[in-house]
Amino acid sequence: MKRVLTIILAALLLAIPCFSVCEEAEEIETIVTIVTAPEQTQAQRPPCFPDPADDYIPLPESENLAQGKPVKSGAHTDVYVDKNVNDGRTDTYWESKGFPAEITFDLQGLYSVSTVAVCLNPSSIWEPRIQEIAVQVSLDGESFTEAAAPVKYQFDAATGNRIRIDFDPAKAAFVKIVFTLNTSSRTGGAQAAEICIYE
Ligand SMILES: [Ca+2]
């Protein structure tokens, strides 16, 4: 009997703190604050992280006369058709089938052009390469004159995988870009994700 009383007493002593804690818990006021997170539409970069684009070769801020305009090239490789070269996206590209590779833009108007930019995908998986490029202009799409002679340009992801060709202003309704070398093409053709033309 004494042992039974001892067990009952011990159980009561253990239960008292529990009742006390439970009573206190019921008295705690629950506060929940709902915070609406801002909509994230693109990758976020903390301000302390350097922006790789700061080292990109700068392009003119004026209108890109090539974007969305009719464009025509010779034979292309696989699915890399000429319309990929001015769709405003650097994740699509045109690749010629062999050299020389020519691609011609109909600007649908007469302009005084002075800059052409040739861009590859800026991702570093596009290894550095050299492409030799010239620029020709025309008023009628038939007779072309040279605005920028062939030069070997270095493409490197560190500078945005893009190059800029500046030349004396030339009247043009049509602009032809002529590639004669690509040191990295596995298929032996020219490559361009975007070609931009500026006054
Ligand atoms: Ca493109």
State the pLDDT at residue 47. Answer: 74
38 vs 147, residue with greater confidence = 147
Q: How confident is the model at residue 1 (pLDDT cuts 50, 70, 90)?
A: low
What does residue 31 show for φ and ψ, rounded to 5 degrees?
Answer: -120, 120
**What is the set of domains in the chain, with CATH numbers?**
61-198 (2.60.120.260)
Distance 92 CA to ligand 1 centre (A): 4
pLDDT digits over 15-64, tens only?
555 445 545 556 777 788 888 877 777 777 777 787 778 889 999 999 99
Q: What is the rounded average pLDDT for all residues in the chain?
A: 87
136 Cβ contact list (under 8 Å, min separation 6): 144, 145, 146, 147, 175, 176, 177, 178
Is residue 14 very low, low, confident or very high in pLDDT (cuts 50, 70, 90)? low
Q: Model's pTM, two decimal places?
A: 0.75
Give the pLDDT score at 45.
73
Task: Provide the percentage of residues in the chain whose pLDDT is more than 90.
Answer: 64
Q: Rounded to the nearest whole angstrom, what is the distance from the C-alpha of residue 24 to the centroid of ligand 1?
A: 66
Q: How far is CA 184 from CA 115, 129, 151, in A?
A: 24, 5, 16
Task: Tokens 């800059």: give the residue.
Answer: 115
Residue 164 CA to ligand 1 centre (angstroms): 17
Q: How far is the CA of 67 from the centre of ligand 1 (A)?
A: 10
Q: State in Å: Cα 1 to ligand 1 middle.
A: 92
CA 195 – ligand 1 centroid, Å: 8
**pLDDT reported for residue 10:** 54
Q: Which pLDDT belongs to residue 167?
A: 98
Q: What separation in Å is there between the alpha carbon of 192 and the centre of ligand 1?
A: 8
Decide if pLDDT at 135 tops 60: yes
Q: What is the pLDDT of residues 77-120, one digit of tens each?
A: 888 999 999 999 999 999 999 999 999 999 999 999 999 999 99
The rounded Å distance from CA 12 to ligand 1 centre is 78
Cα 7 to ligand 1 centroid, rounded to whole Å:
82
How, if at all, do strands 101-119 and 71-73 pair? antiparallel
